[in-house]
A and B are shown apart, each in its own frame.
Chain A
Amino acid sequence: MAPLLQSAHFFYKYEIMSDTELTTLEQHLLLAIITLHPNAYGVSIQDHIKARTGREPSTGSIYASLDRLEEKGFVKSRQGEPTKERGGKRKLYFTITAPGQHTLRQSLQAIHSLSHGLRWKGAAV
């Protein structure tokens, strides 16, 4: 019975619990997708995050996170047009879904309520 419980816990931890939680990069990606709609693709998302946060996530980490978000049903992708600058490769545009928006709003509200009334140590009040 113990192995069954172990595997059930494993699935809960990685398949169910993670469905309702977003990492910082996932939050950034979803916010960038909303802002850049309908032109949100790898390069524009990366540039937007770099301009707003000062951090430049790698192309690989962006696509790995977007893949995870797509599996959870938070974003949808569609193929775009090939261009000369891209060596004839097509773009992959991303749009946020209704469950994605709901989860993002919950995640941001949680941060907002946690940070409400916060007194920073050493800061002048």
Chain B
Amino acid sequence: MTGRKANKPHASGEVWIKLSLPEFKAGWLQIPHHGTREYQIHVVVSLLKRWRTNWRPEFEEARPALVPRKSEPPMWAEFLLTMLLKPSHVEAVTGDLNERFTDECEKFGRLRAVRLYWARTLRSLWPMLVRAIGKALKWGAVIAAVRRMF
């Protein structure tokens, strides 16, 4: 167990949290920035167990709160969707992708969830673009036909 005084993440990306559990001494705890959320929880719990010998089962309930939730979807993917989708569908489509992202963050970890979010975004843009291009071409053909008449 190592301690740290500064209340901010380290430059390398590792996360430090301040303990505020009952019956625990106030202190700082290092959480690995790699691995899935389950792995991070496992590391935190094993560190806590090593730190205090009187570990009780009710402390298990506090585990999820220890790990910071970094469930922000990739900003650029969301921006791309906002720019290219039909305005009435932007909220619904990004909301659906965010819902999947939240689930996948918990299941697979943030890194894989971000990759899946990008894959879904790119897969989603194509049909929407095809529809938009099709509509534009349709009206373009009609306008061209009318112009040819006069």
Interface residues of A (CB under 8 A from B): 3-4, 6-7, 10-11, 14, 41-43, 46, 58-61, 63-64, 67-68, 82-83, 85-87, 89-92
Contact = CB atoms under 8 A, between A and B. Distances in A.
A7 to B, nearest CB: 4
Given A58-B124, A60-B125, A7 B145 contact: yes
Interface in B125-150: 125-128, 130-131, 138, 141-142, 145-146, 148-149
11 contacts: A3-B145, A3-B146, A4-B145, A6-B145, A7-B145, A7-B146, A63-B128, A64-B127, A64-B128, A68-B131, A92-B91
Interface string B84-114: 0110010111111111101100000000000
Given A4-B149, A10-B142, A90 B92 contact: yes
Contacts of B94: 87, 89
B142 A89 contact: no
Contact of B124 (A4, A6, A60, A67): A60
Contact of A58 (B89, B102, B127): B127
B58 to A, nearest CB: 26
A11, A46, A91 interface centre (most CB from chain B within 10 Å) = A91
Interface residues on B, range: 20 to 34
Interface of B: 73, 85-86, 89, 91-100, 102-103, 120, 123-128, 130-131, 138, 141-142, 145-146, 148-149
Given A64-B131, A67-B86, A86 B124 contact: no
A10 to B, nearest CB: 6
A10 B93 CA distance: 31
Given A59-B120, A68-B131, A87 B95 contact: yes
A86 B95 contact: yes
